[in-house]
Amino acid sequence: MNCEELLKALNEYVDGTLDLTQAECEQFADHLAGCNPCQIVVDNIRGTIQLFRAGQPYPLPPEFQARLQQSLRQRWREKFGAFVLNHEKHERHEKKKEI
Ligand SMILES: [Zn+2]
């Protein structure tokens, strides 16, 4: 799994359309363990999701939830759209040598 795939999977997770298999979860965790930028993304999103769960004992109104998901995806694209591509190239050249 590369950064792009991980971000796509997370995007679908935020949308509520993703069902991760066990193998996918492991790939996900493997990538996260070695990729600091992706760790930051996941932490941000996890924080957002936990916050609204902790603050609201029942599901948010669908309208609000849709807006939250939309703004998450937008911030994501702004923050990582260009960055992911650069990071991927970098990773492909340097990663395997170190291990
Ligand atoms: Zn990554």
Note the pLDDT tens digit of each residue in 2-56.
Answer: 988 888 887 777 666 767 777 877 888 888 889 888 888 887 776 666 555 566 5
| pTM: predicted TM-score of the whole model, two decimal places | 0.47
- Gap between the Cα atoms of 99 and 53, Å rounded: 39
Give 14's Cβ-side CA count (13 Å radius).
Answer: 27
Distance 62 CA to ligand 1 centre (A): 30
CA of 65 to the centre of ligand 1 (A): 26
Segment 71-85 mean pLDDT: 65
Looking at residue 29, its pLDDT comes to 84
State in Å: Cα 44 to ligand 1 middle: 14
Per-residue pLDDT at 47 = 67
Q: How far is CA 26 from CA 32, 67, 78, in A?
A: 10, 30, 27
